Structure 1
Amino acid sequence: MKPRHLTAALAAASALLATPPTPAIADHHFREYVALGDSWSADVTVIGIDRTYAPTGCAQSSWNYPKQVAARLHVSAFRDATCGGATTADMTAPQNVPRVPLLADGVNPAQFDRLTRTTDLVTLGIGGNDVGLGTAVMGCLNPLPAPLGTPCRTRFTGPGGRDLMSQRIAAAKSKITGVIAGIRQRSPKARVLVVNYLAGVAVDRGCYPQVPIFDEDLTWLGARLRELNAMLATAAAESGAGFVDTYRGSVGHDVCQPPGKRWVEGVAPVLTERQGLGVPFHPNRLGADHQASTVLATLGS
């Protein structure tokens, strides 16, 4: 390379290095944000339920990650459709939810009803109820220690030793890709982010009797949770959607950790000023804070 060419190249390189990277969100101001999902997106709570966007029976917390993200982005329009117990079927059909006395609000409209042609940001946290992972957790509660109690994992073992929960997770991928396609059909200009599940359960340890699920069952549930997240990542990639990994940064904050360190509540939630009061086996306020910060980081904010 000739000296003058080398000088010019060095100058160009110096200019590039001197230019700070621009956050991905800086060139796009989101105006209309819609949040879709189940209880881990609603961040269900027993104190501080917000009825602004969904029926009381959905148990949306006033501090869930969609609300935190909407506030941080200063969107002019925000609709939070998330609801406890939701499945992919509830994206296009009304969902019956517990009716609270004196409040006639026992139905959450189809979550897709909140989408419009001008929606430009959508977060989606769904899939756990489709595969029955939450139901499995509650079914694995075992107050009787071994050998009096029976491990629940055997109920999910099919012929030839096949893991029935793993089969459900694999089969649910088409439902997730179908939901993403439905979002794009209704909101073609939207940036779609699939949000996965926090590391609520470890894969290498349990904590019986603090969480009365046999250690072998709790670690099995933790492994299935990782499988679910992997399936969500694959579905997002195949559909061209973004993916928000809340799992990786939450490892070490599972249900076996003490109050103030755990981001997902165990059998007996503890009320603290910073942690709030969540619902068993669901994110507490600390978990919601992590979800929100991870969504914002993914957007480049």
Structure 2
Amino acid sequence: MWRATLAAFAGTLLTCATAPLVTAQPPEYQEYVSLGDSWSAGATLNPALLNAEFVPLGCLQRTQNFARQVAEALNVPTFRDAACAGATTEDMTVDQPLGKDQYPSYNEPQFDRLTPDTDLVTILIGGNDVGLAATVRTCITPNPALSPCVSRFVVNGVDQMTQRIEAAEPKIAATIRGIAERSPNARIVMLNYLDGVAVGDPCYPIIPISPTDVNWLAEKLSQLNTMLAAVARQTGVEFANTYAGSVGHDACRAPGVRWVEGLIPVTADPPGPALPFHPNQLGVDHQASTVLATLGG
């Protein structure tokens, strides 16, 4: 009996001695900074979901926006989120006033969060530079035969929104260069915008925008995303194409299917107030999974 016990004990010691040691892997990224506008902030009107850890409440930053999910998934030790509703490329280097809502304040220049040690940056910007988000609200009409946006922006065959998108391209490129100058060792990932309205598939009067203007808005969003992809190529940064996987989840879809909310400022995902024509939590989760897939995580 004792011989058997000793033999078993010796076998255990041998197994322990030859088994490889399991050590915790250090995080791949040490310092992650998120930059951008309301779609980067995961902007929400639900007070229970607002987070003011890194920015004022007026930035409407969501507690579980895509950047926070990415930081948690990658176990990044140092994380800062500068993204703020209403931000433009100008707000990367100047204070952004936030005095037009119930949370008056200002967001410090977003680039102030970058350091030479920053090794991961995500950015989603451009929609406010061209004014596309604000334009959506001006397309609303009580008469589906009217197309106030096309009538306003397409004059003598010249599309002024297309001109705005073209004019914003060098600003986006300069923003990317500004990141690289401040954080030369950073891996930079640029995002694009989710599918908000579908070409040829209006849902008037649920979203009271005429079929003509819906198609025009979808075309302008496509042009904006194409421009962002071009900037990513020109500047040599990575591109997280969140739009590609979002087709079929636009604001006309049913709750639980749509990833972008429509005109009515409430959402079922999760239940509560919503920011019109912005991603709900399902859309935010898609942004996170797309960024992680881009990073290979």
| TM-score calculated relative to the size of structure 1 | 0.86
**Residue 193 of structure 2: which of 197, 202, 223 is its match?**
197
- Please tell me whether Structure 1 or Structure 2 has the larger radius of gyration of its CA atoms: 2
Q: Which residue of 2 aligns with 1:243?
A: 239
Local SS of the residue matching 2:189: strand
Gaps of 5+ in 2: 1-24
Following TM superposition, by how much is the alpha carbon of 1:270 offset from its aligned partner in structure 2, in angstroms? Answer: 3.3
Q: Which residue of 1 aligns with 2:121?
A: 122
From the superposition, tell whether residues 254 and 146 of structure 1 become closer, same or farther in structure 2 (CA, over 3 Å): closer
Gaps of 5+ in 1: 1-25
Aligned residues of 1:275 and 1:285 also touching (Cα < 8 A): no
Q: Which residue of 2 aligns with 1:231?
A: 227
Q: Does 1:153 align with 2:150?
A: yes
Following TM superposition, by how much is the alpha carbon of 1:163 offset from its aligned partner in structure 2, in angstroms? Answer: 1.1
Following TM superposition, by how much is the alpha carbon of 1:152 offset from its aligned partner in structure 2, in angstroms? Answer: 2.0
Local SS of the residue matching 2:285: helix
Q: Which residue of 2 aligns with 1:96?
A: 97
Matches within 5 A, 1:175-214: 175-214=171-210
For residues 95 and 138 of structure 1, what CA distance do their matches in structure 2 show? 22
Matches within 5 A, 1:253-272: 253-272=249-268
User: Partner amino acid for 2:197?
Assistant: V
Local SS of the residue matching 1:271: strand
Following TM superposition, by how much is the alpha carbon of 1:108 offset from its aligned partner in structure 2, in angstroms? Answer: 0.1
| TM-score calculated relative to the size of structure 2 | 0.87
For residues 229 and 167 of structure 2, what CA distance do their matches in structure 1 show? 14
RMSD: 1.8
Q: Which residue of 2 aligns with 1:76?
A: 77
For residues 201 and 101 of structure 2, what CA distance do their matches in structure 1 show? 38
Identity of aligned residues (%): 52
Aligned residues of 1:122 and 1:192 also touching (Cα < 8 A): yes
From the superposition, tell whether residues 276 and 66 of structure 1 become closer, same or farther in structure 2 (CA, over 3 Å): farther
1:182-240: CA deviations, max 9, x gaps? 00110000000111000111122211100011111011101110110000000010001
From the superposition, tell whether residues 227 and 70 of structure 1 become closer, same or farther in structure 2 (CA, over 3 Å): same
Aligned residues of 2:261 and 2:267 also touching (Cα < 8 A): no
Q: Which residue of 2 aligns with 1:287?
A: 283
Aligned residues of 2:58 and 2:101 also touching (Cα < 8 A): yes
From the superposition, tell whether residues 198 and 93 of structure 1 become closer, same or farther in structure 2 (CA, over 3 Å): same
For residues 276 and 134 of structure 2, what CA distance do their matches in structure 1 show? 12
Local SS of the residue matching 2:275: coil
For residues 273 and 169 of structure 1, what CA distance do their matches in structure 2 show? 31
Q: How many residues align?
A: 271
Local SS of the residue matching 1:78: strand
For residues 108 and 31 of structure 1, what CA distance do their matches in structure 2 show? 24
